[in-house]
Structure 1
Amino acid sequence: MMADVAYHFSNLWFAGQARNWPLAEFLLSETKSHLRWAVRVRPVRPLSTGGELRVGDMLAGIEQSTLKELTESVQAKDQSRFVTAYKQQLASCYACHIAAEKAYLRLRIPDHPAETMVQFDPTKPGSPEP
């Protein structure tokens, strides 16, 4: 489940860097959809303390803060704002990982896209040629 989130979210970085805002909107929408799907599949995570982490509550907070800012940056087609919002979202994701006792899942800006078939540069045509 989270692999799907990572796939879309990492590709989102490259769409934003290329200022391909329609693709960025699509990838952000897919990221949100897959986050919600992950919460539906496993809404509660048991903790080593015996407590529980209600993942949906965490996602709701993220949706109203960093994910909202990221959405607004894409809608505004503002690359500078996008970069800041993307980094803030990475920090929010990591905070959730820490809360879920998975601090070893440290996130970073991707150095290459997860998808190599997609042309991220909106000024270049798609082509079956490499």
Structure 2
Amino acid sequence: MDTKSTEAQTRWYAVKVLFESVHSGDPLPDKSDVADTDYNLKLFEERIILVKALNEGQANEKAEVYSKNSEDEYMNTYGVSIMVQFVRILHTFELNDDELTDGTEIYARFIHTSKENTAMDIIKHYYPEAEHIE
């Protein structure tokens, strides 16, 4: 297969992936500043990665490989082992531009909702961390 013609057929995709941080063990005894509520919370991370592929299926395959390769394990400041694990692909978005430049849109999604919902309702539901950003 001619690599130049294959390269010309590839497109950029933004792939949203989900990771979970799984902790094991108890905090060190001298780390008394760990609140029980904080210790019992789960942490998930949403990432958007760029891949170049021939189609959405290949983009997802590549994104899964990249995501699994980026799994990590470390010891946090409380002496607890943390394993950052790939969970799944959430969404794949084909970019409209072949060339990545300043201002290129790399991800978009539509949110369908009832007519009664305001923009603030959407922010509170889907983006609670941005609720207080102005």
Identify the structure with the greater strand proportion. 2
Under a length normalisation based on structure 2, what TM-score does the superposition of the two structures give? 0.26
Under a length normalisation based on structure 1, what TM-score does the superposition of the two structures give? 0.27
Identify the structure with the greater helix proportion. 1
